[in-house]
Structure 1
Amino acid sequence: MDVAALSDLRNTRRLVIKVGSALLVQDGAPRAEWLATLAAEIAELRRSTEIIVVSSGAIALGAAKLGLARGGRGSLADAQAAASVGQVELARLWADALGAHTITAAQMLVTLGDLEDRRRYLNASATLARLLEAGAVPVVNENDSVATEEIRFGDNDRLAARVAQAAGADAVLLLSDVDGLYDRDPREAGATLVEQVTGVTPEIIAMAGGESASGLGSGGMLAKLQAARIAERAGIALAIVNGTHAAPIGRALDAGVGTLFLPQSDASARKAWLGGRLAPAGVLSVDAGCVAALDRGASVLAAGLTAVEGEFGRGDLVALHGPQGERLGQGLCEYTAAECRAILGLREEQQLAQLGYAPRAAVVHRDHMVRT
């Protein structure tokens, strides 16, 4: 599906809609009337488009019921407890809202590991496909009741992009509390809405502010740009629109108000999965000669390694950094961290004596690597 404008999102084959906490919850209570208008829009879209929802709100809802301070985000234990209670309420809200249009809602809770591990990723993909085939609307959320700071997405913007990959979606629609990406802080005079982005470059990243405007959610504009980068690498369009109004999708698409990030890659499913993974086990730094070779499509060789960080095993995901610490990409390492340190900077003929066995073709093979 070729997405060239916001209005094209109505005609996509499969669309992921992300709903933020600030949209769904106000002063600890669900915005039921607003959700009813969104559910009506989802019902209308489903005439031609398969819909997956990624919904925040569990922690905010649970914190209100438990009477927890700071919206349930005062500590990890508070957030986990709030999520446990809030997931029940969140599932009920979506079941009732979609059920009013005779649509079956399906709750699907995932953790970072479910989409980082290849086998679990494929299982999640199969579940999403079967739910859609059965006519249900999957409502996905991070399982914050068990996730910790070290093993979590941390925001549902990036989760939505990863779910779109797993589901083979054409587009992601992030409903936010702002109109889209501005060229500077939107509170500043003269700030201009960026209507279309072709590639999330460092210049685009520099436009992002810090936290979410509401303080309820965990993802600000930077998280949304990270989600856009994941999506664009997988050949998926992503849009940010203002969801605070009633019937927000139609309002944004009819007026064409929002930011559309165009897909930039048509990578294989495996490379798209690799590019979207968020938790490298370590870092390999390389010299300028290796960077030049990578630019020509080569693999990472031991001779180009300058430093190794972290502890990882063979087959683990590692980040690749250049001489100035710049991120070059990521890939699956053919050696353990200890082996990488042993052959650091060595040419092929020197590696045999150091390892005690014939070296592999590469440290990170180009077929198992994606560039930033």
Structure 2
Amino acid sequence: MSISKLSDLADPEITPRLVFKIGSALLFGRGGVADREWLAGLVWEIADARERGQQVIVVCSGAVALGAAKLGFEKGGRGSLADAQASAAVGQIELAGLWSQLLGAHGITAAQILLTLDDLEGRRRYLNVSATLGRLLKAGAVPVVNENDSVATDGIRFGDNDRLAARVAQAGKADAIVLFSDVDGLYDRNPAEEGAQLLRVVEGVTEAEHAMASGSSGSGMGSGGMTTKLRAVEIAERAGISLTIVNGTHRRPFGKAIDSDTGTLFLPKRRDTGRKAWLGGRMRMKGHLVVDTGCAKALTSGSSLLASGITAVEGEFTRGDPVGIKDQDGRALAKGLAEYDSFEILRIMGTRSEDQAMLLGYSPRSAVVHRDQLVLL
């Protein structure tokens, strides 16, 4: 059985493992005070899901807002990097305590996991995260995950918890993600416009859906809008994970969405292997390879990337590093793991395999990026 409608998310036979993502705007007022009543209602829903036989992972924002209020920092703790990191350090303890207390009232153990981008970008660390999540769930705990903003900087952070939730869902082998938002879901235009229609079910994300999305966050507290949610959908669907956007402003919002059948359910059109799903969800590449038109066409047909089709190398990287592949117009085509160092590819790009041994000083490998280590975008 697979997910086909919103009510399936409450069925443990179809959706045994869920990720709930909660943003700052829902959990906190502008003064940085947690809405305990709202969160207590959501915790009831987590307890109900567990009673049905479902496992739940929580991805929760709000540490910076909570810590800034406690420290008396202006601009919600976002005035400087140092303010944000200090706010997060204080807020993480407060937030973990809040979850521990509310879940504990239901006899549920809360577990805190703080992640940086590197924890999910590196394959070995990603697998460690996966193992930890699996063990916690097996032990009956509810993992509460947040980005570790006390050490993360602009260059090494997710930037929004929508994409973090998608990556955590991949690592946690979840069946579905619920993104609680301040709107009912994805509309075909700005929901404030007359005649705007809610999209109930979307199979895969195309340019048409991206064109409908707004990149702004209406609350002023969140770090992204509908655009980041669609990017999260693209990450999730690589692992065959469904994602739904529902209105989180209600008390007990999950049940409200299920009962009213209101939200946007994104159904995956693909299911990559575990390694390819991880690679496709990576946010940072070590470099890029530019390919000609013939090569771009061959890649879309399932071929490996050969040196003969490469026209340029961007960045410095070593064998095994993740690289992006794009066409002559700069359009992203694929991601993959390089079989050569960047300086070696510069030597052999545009050449055929019979000429590469002399240029390299050793027998060439079968491809610059093998199709088994390549994922199309």
For residues 250 and 98 of structure 2, the distance between their equivalents in structure 1, rounded to whole angstroms, comes to 18
For residues 302 and 75 of structure 1, the distance between their equivalents in structure 2, rounded to whole angstroms, comes to 45
Pairs within 5 Å for 1:121-200: 121-200=126-205
> Which of 65, 89, 95 lines up with 1:90 in the alignment?
95
1:16 aligned onto 2:19 = yes
Unmatched 5+ residue regions in structure 2? none
> Alpha-carbon deviation of 1:367?
0.1
TM-score, structure 1 as length reference: 0.98
For residues 183 and 71 of structure 1, the distance between their equivalents in structure 2, rounded to whole angstroms, comes to 32
Count of residues in Structure 1 that have an aligned counterpart in Structure 2? 372
> Which of 311, 333, 337 lines up with 2:316 in the alignment?
311
For residues 341 and 83 of structure 1, the distance between their equivalents in structure 2, rounded to whole angstroms, comes to 43
| 1:174-230: CA deviation from partner (whole Å, max 9, x where unpaired) | 011111111122222222211111111111111111121111121211111011001
Amino acid of the residue matched to residue 90 of structure 1? L
For residues 314 and 76 of structure 1, the distance between their equivalents in structure 2, rounded to whole angstroms, comes to 34
> Alpha-carbon deviation of 1:44?
0.2
Aligned to 2:305: 300
Pairs within 5 Å for 1:211-360: 211-360=216-365
Amino acid of the residue matched to residue 319 of structure 1? G
Unmatched 5+ residue regions in structure 1? none
> Alpha-carbon deviation of 1:285?
1.1
For residues 18 and 143 of structure 1, the distance between their equivalents in structure 2, rounded to whole angstroms, comes to 16
Select between 12-21 and 347-356 the one with higher mean Cα deviation.
347-356
For residues 100 and 289 of structure 1, the distance between their equivalents in structure 2, rounded to whole angstroms, comes to 62
Pairs within 5 Å for 1:3-152: 3-11=3-11, 12-26=15-29, 27-47=31-51, 48-152=53-157
For residues 369 and 251 of structure 2, the distance between their equivalents in structure 1, rounded to whole angstroms, comes to 49
| 1:267-291: CA deviation from partner (whole Å, max 9, x where unpaired) | 2111111111111111111111011
| 1:140-194: CA deviation from partner (whole Å, max 9, x where unpaired) | 0010100111111111111111111111110000011111111122222222211
| 1:253-305: CA deviation from partner (whole Å, max 9, x where unpaired) | 11111111102222211111111111111111111101111122100111111
For residues 137 and 20 of structure 2, the distance between their equivalents in structure 1, rounded to whole angstroms, comes to 14
Contact 2:287 2:314 in 1 (8 A): yes
Identity within the alignment, %: 63
For residues 114 and 152 of structure 1, the distance between their equivalents in structure 2, rounded to whole angstroms, comes to 10
Contact 2:294 2:309 in 1 (8 A): yes
Contact 2:300 2:376 in 1 (8 A): no
TM-score, structure 2 as length reference: 0.97
Amino acid of the residue matched to residue 339 of structure 1? E
For residues 188 and 285 of structure 1, the distance between their equivalents in structure 2, rounded to whole angstroms, comes to 41
Amino acid of the residue matched to residue 285 of structure 1? V
For residues 167 and 199 of structure 1, the distance between their equivalents in structure 2, rounded to whole angstroms, comes to 21
| CA root-mean-square deviation | 1.0
SS of residue matched to 1:125? helix
